Structure 1
Amino acid sequence: MSLYVMKFGGSSVGSAERMQKVAQRIVEKKLAGHQCVIVVSAMGDTTDELIDLSKQITDRPSAREMDMLLTTGEQVSVALLSMSIQQLGHEAVSFTGWQAGMRTDDGHGRARIKDIKPDRIMKALDAGKIVVVAGFQGTSDEGEITTLGRGGSDTTAVALAAAVKADFCEIYTDVDGVYSTDPRIVRCAKKLDEISYDEMLELAHLGAAVLHPRAVEYAKQYQVPLVVRSSFTNNEGTYVKEEAVMENGASVRGIAYDKNVARISILGVEDQPGVLAKFFNALAEHHINVDIIVQSGVLNGKADFSFTVTLEEMDRAVEIVENTRSEVNFDEVTSETNLVKVSIVGAGMVSNPGVAAKMFDVISKQQASIKLVSTSEIKVSCVIEQSYLTEVILALHTAYDLDTNQTVFVGGPKDRR
């Protein structure tokens, strides 16, 4: 008998009919002789609807009350799913995050898991019950309800799998595994049978929506066997593990993109020691995350440099930079949107020269200009104009021999959490 943690996202339980199909799938796992802990997100667009409802009351709700509001979505899901399992003649019990022993810090809307005390979960499993846990939520040491932020249900599932020493953690979504790129853009994308934690972590950080980076970090740290599968088919999924088998000649395993990108340029900066530190210290003090940074050469004692931030942080970042004029001399600050970061990822890139050169050549043939470049041992990222995204992704996918002869099945809208 194995212990499975199974996570189902919002699209998987988006209606009563889908909820019942998920319940049937869980019961099949139980009948095969396994113990089951289920993690569930809010149904469909419930979270968006709750956010819209709050906006009818106030434009600036407190973070604490938003956590109180948003966690109700998952509570609805776990209760309904437990009822669906019970209707099939099996014992099930639902727990909120705090009932399941999920302890977090006090960061409302972005809490981090501190530890998990799964005593109630283990007691229910020992009694032969299926346990259904609300994802995305926990409680602080002060007893405050918290939410884990974007990707919180994935993180809940992996963290619970580590805590209960599960044999497998299965993440069910609307595609039947991890693909070489977004199958909504490239319908002939290649499904990967397995992928390493490091490759998956890069893809997740770079925009691949199938898994959240924090969930992959947990899986790598605690060596949780992770499987990505479809809620809508019984196809074999993708195994995320420490070491993945390399395909012959496959230097690039996946292509990711991120539209949440803005470029800020600071022009005419005096070339003096410590200047960059002043800018980035100011940004760090205001919790602005900076991604790619590029500095040009020095001309007449002045230099230009650019960096990227998220779209929602762009205006605040520009304001912070402007406020450093009392300490640093520079000519002007500019910003640019309608950009996308396109990235190639593969553990084999480090031993295959020319991978980056091919990427630059493919992008240029699509008449797209490369505005910024960032590299590591297993990835190359280029920032380009967003209007070229589809053509560039398709061309890169073909250039790195990732196309297949099959059309990917996509089951529904992207999961929210």
Structure 2
Amino acid sequence: MKILVQKFGGTSVATLESMKMVRGKVVDGLQRGNKVIAVLSARAGDTNRLLALADEWSPAPDKAECDALVSTGEQVSISLFTMLLKDAGISARSLLGWQIPVTTDDDFGRARIRAIDSGRLRELFHRYDVLVVAGFQGSTADGRITTLGRGGSDTSAVALAAALDSAECEIYTDVDGVYTTDPNICSTARKMDRVAYDEMLEMASMGAKVLHIRSVEFAKKYKVPVHVRSTFSDDPGTLVTQEDPSMEAVLVSGIAYDKDQARVTLRDVPDVPGMAAAVFGPLSERGVLVDMIVQNTSQDGHTDMTFTITRKDLPQTLE
């Protein structure tokens, strides 16, 4: 049984017309002799709207309840798209994360996948040609809904491909591949035909929005080829894969940026052993991800310590 995993982002499922284009990509996958898993994000704007609702109802929304709320965005997408497939005579059904299940830890809002029941999916493929799966979500061992963080649908798709030993995972978005930098800012940006996992990891960690960084980690670990393509064209896109000798000749692959950063500086910190652990240990326990750390040269036994975090983690960091 050949299984192809295709993931479609929020702009790809935003309207009826765009969903019909998505259906065309799924049909193409079927015509190539595959069973297809279509992993869908929430429609463009839905997740932000739901998060705004949570902030309206509560000054500090409970993370577990927030996950239960925002996960409904993907439920809307997969239900509507499955209706489209069935109306076209395609044997399909929708699946939420907990119905597979995609089992995660209980770090609500940025959960990590622990296991996927691939046997359940293979069993369903005896009855259906297409399984439409809600990306971005899973559930804890005791059944609570979790989400994987913004961009987590990419991670869902690559993890499913790895669990099913899929030959390839196609990530469809509103751009036609991975560029040397943001083409909306630099008109001379070039699309790359191939990019190595490690290069893509670097670019994703520095703010490139094409792929979620954890999806690239999954792809590298399980050697899943990832094809980044556009929903709205037939361009071959960019293949994210293992490095080969031709890639090693390139010194600089691309330039990325991230505007969603906050910089925190602690002044006059005692420059003594264990001080860094005292600062960063509690942040780690609260799930705050620290990116860059810079420490000035010590003067009179004190130093300044600067680090960066995502902007949404700033209130918790200051606390």
Matched with 1:394 is: none
In 2, the alpha carbon distance for the partners of 1:116 and 1:221 equals 16
Matched with 1:388 is: none
For residue 258 of structure 1, report the CA deviation from its aligned partner. 1.2
For residue 181 of structure 1, report the CA deviation from its aligned partner. 0.8
| Distance of aligned partners of 1:21 and 1:298 in 2 relative to their CA distance in 1, 3 Å threshold | closer
For residue 144 of structure 1, report the CA deviation from its aligned partner. 1.5
For residue 111 of structure 1, report the CA deviation from its aligned partner. 1.7
Matched with 2:133 is: 133
Q: Is the Cα contact below 8 Å between 1:24 and 1:88 reproduced in 2?
A: no
In 2, the alpha carbon distance for the partners of 1:109 and 1:210 equals 20
Q: Is the Cα contact below 8 Å between 1:24 and 1:85 reproduced in 2?
A: no
In 1, the alpha carbon distance for the partners of 2:104 and 2:284 equals 23
In 2, the alpha carbon distance for the partners of 1:283 and 1:66 equals 21
Residue 108 (structure 1) aligned with residue 108 (structure 2): yes
In 2, the alpha carbon distance for the partners of 1:156 and 1:262 equals 28
Q: Is the Cα contact below 8 Å between 2:39 and 2:132 reproduced in 1?
A: yes
Q: Is the Cα contact below 8 Å between 1:97 and 1:137 reproduced in 2?
A: yes
| Distance of aligned partners of 1:45 and 1:318 in 2 relative to their CA distance in 1, 3 Å threshold | closer
In 2, the alpha carbon distance for the partners of 1:270 and 1:107 equals 32
| Distance of aligned partners of 1:87 and 1:56 in 2 relative to their CA distance in 1, 3 Å threshold | same
Matched with 2:264 is: 264
| Distance of aligned partners of 1:233 and 1:267 in 2 relative to their CA distance in 1, 3 Å threshold | same
For residue 51 of structure 1, report the CA deviation from its aligned partner. 2.1
Residue 53 (structure 1) aligned with residue 57 (structure 2): no
TM-score normalised by structure 2 residue count: 0.92
Matched with 1:5 is: 5
For residue 94 of structure 1, report the CA deviation from its aligned partner. 1.1
Matched with 2:235 is: 235
SS for the counterpart of 2:7 is strand
Q: List per-residue Cα deviations over 1:82-120 (Å, max 9, x = no partner).
A: 111122222111111122221112222222111011333
Instruction: Please tell me the residue identity of whatever aligns with 1:35.
Output: K
| Distance of aligned partners of 1:245 and 1:88 in 2 relative to their CA distance in 1, 3 Å threshold | farther
Matched with 1:187 is: 187
Q: Is the Cα contact below 8 Å between 2:105 and 2:112 reproduced in 1?
A: yes
1:65-84 paired onto structure 2 within 5 Å: 65-84=65-84
Residue 171 (structure 1) aligned with residue 177 (structure 2): no
Q: List per-residue Cα deviations over 1:299-320 (Å, max 9, x = no partner).
A: 444433432233333454455x
In 1, the alpha carbon distance for the partners of 2:58 and 2:282 equals 30
Instruction: Please tell me the residue identity of whatever aligns with 1:185.
Output: I
For residue 226 of structure 1, report the CA deviation from its aligned partner. 0.9
For residue 296 of structure 1, report the CA deviation from its aligned partner. 2.7
Per mean C-alpha deviation after superposition, the further-off stretch among 27-36 and 226-235 is 27-36
1:5-404 paired onto structure 2 within 5 Å: 5-244=5-244, 246=246, 250-318=250-318
SS for the counterpart of 1:172 is strand
Per mean C-alpha deviation after superposition, the further-off stretch among 118-127 and 189-198 is 118-127
TM-score normalised by structure 1 residue count: 0.71
* CA RMSD, Structure 1 to Structure 2 (Å): 2.2
In 1, the alpha carbon distance for the partners of 2:232 and 2:219 equals 24
In 2, the alpha carbon distance for the partners of 1:230 and 1:167 equals 19
In 2, the alpha carbon distance for the partners of 1:159 and 1:225 equals 12
For residue 230 of structure 1, report the CA deviation from its aligned partner. 0.6
Q: Is the Cα contact below 8 Å between 1:99 and 1:120 reproduced in 2?
A: no
Unaligned runs of 5+ in 2: none
For residue 21 of structure 1, report the CA deviation from its aligned partner. 1.5
| Distance of aligned partners of 1:318 and 1:52 in 2 relative to their CA distance in 1, 3 Å threshold | closer
Q: List per-residue Cα deviations over 1:135-159 (Å, max 9, x = no partner).
A: 1111221122222222221111011
Unaligned runs of 5+ in 1: 320-417
| Distance of aligned partners of 1:32 and 1:248 in 2 relative to their CA distance in 1, 3 Å threshold | closer
In 2, the alpha carbon distance for the partners of 1:109 and 1:213 equals 16
In 2, the alpha carbon distance for the partners of 1:12 and 1:251 equals 34
| Distance of aligned partners of 1:274 and 1:150 in 2 relative to their CA distance in 1, 3 Å threshold | same
Instruction: Please tell me the residue identity of whatever aligns with 2:308.
Output: T
| Matched residue count | 319
SS for the counterpart of 1:23 is helix
- Asked which structure has the greater CA Rg, the reply is 1
| Distance of aligned partners of 1:23 and 1:316 in 2 relative to their CA distance in 1, 3 Å threshold | closer
In 1, the alpha carbon distance for the partners of 2:247 and 2:119 equals 43
| Distance of aligned partners of 1:21 and 1:282 in 2 relative to their CA distance in 1, 3 Å threshold | closer
Q: List per-residue Cα deviations over 1:43-72 (Å, max 9, x = no partner).
A: 121112222233343333322322222222
Q: List per-residue Cα deviations over 1:323-358 (Å, max 9, x = no partner).
A: xxxxxxxxxxxxxxxxxxxxxxxxxxxxxxxxxxxx
